[in-house]
Amino acid sequence: MSLTRLAAARRSLILLWVGVLAATAIGTVLAIPKLRLILFFATLAVEVAAVYMAFAGRAQLARDDPGRRVWMFIGLGLLLRLIAEMRLATLYLDIVPKFVTEDEWAWAVYFFGLRYLYTVADLALLAALLATRRALLSTGLDFHLRPRDALVLVLLPPLPVTVYLLQSVFLTATTDPGLHTFRIISASVGALVSGVCVVLASPALQMGGGAWAWIWGAAAVAGIARALAFAAAAVSPTFSGVVVLEQALLWTFACGWLLATVLHLRLVTHERGPTPQAA
């Protein structure tokens, strides 16, 4: 797998990301009905692909490669998020099983409890990222944050505070009392995941950039987009059109992780080389 093919895969996914965002902008202007739902299912399809690519990349690694553990956690995190999204799809389409809706305890777990699958997914991603950071530190090389990376890290901590303030102003409904807490927790963990991705991208760039810089950079963009999506969701009760912006940010999250997983799969396949054929 040549570097040219890595670049081609990167360009294709960036074009997909930009193309769908452009189509969404046009659809918003034309007031296409159910635009948010259409974009949601497009996002779901990309997340399915990202899960597959993450585990496919892990399968290419040798059994004694420490990267297998890292990519197991990344795949697990993306899989848990996909399950949470499938739950959300049943709510959007009103196809929640009757045994859930007719039982008060089961409904509480399904509606209020299972939303925290998103948080558990983020924690799995965080475990993978921290393991990667420890591996980098163990090399003994002198890595330091570039000024622009440090600036991004400074901007990340206020995101959960922003979500809290926006929800305090705009979230006035009492039908879902746990939503405020969930968004604050998720925005906080998401900002932490984004920060670690920035920390990983910085040494990759110092070592000459390449695929690894793109992998961790794409993951960082994904995390920042998801944190911003919580801010958009906080004002959506007052500004209904913002729900499309929220989903566009989640689309960016999904495309970021698909880019990271595709590049990793291409990279490790190239490093491993072709499989010998039987004589």
Instruction: List, for residues 7-30, the tens digit of each pLDDT value.
Output: 889 999 999 999 999 999 999 999
Express each pLDDT in 228-260 by its tens digit: 898 888 888 777 789 999 999 999 999 999 999
- CA 17 to each of CA 10, 12, 38, 48, 179: distance values in angstroms, whole numbers, following the listed order: 11, 9, 15, 15, 29
What are 129's two structure tokens? 């990222």
Write the pLDDT tens digit of every residue in 116-165. Answer: 999 999 999 999 999 988 887 777 766 677 777 777 778 787 888 888 88
User: What pLDDT is stored for residue 278 in this prediction?
Assistant: 32
101-110 pLDDT tens trace: 999 999 999 9
Domains of the chain are 3-272 (1.20.1070)
Residue 156 is predicted with a pLDDT of: 82
Q: What is the pLDDT, as a whole number, of residue 271? A: 63
Nearest to 106 by CA among 129, 126, 87: 87
pLDDT at 98: 94
Mean of pLDDT over the chain: 87
pLDDT band at 33 (very low <50, low <70, confident <90, very high): very high
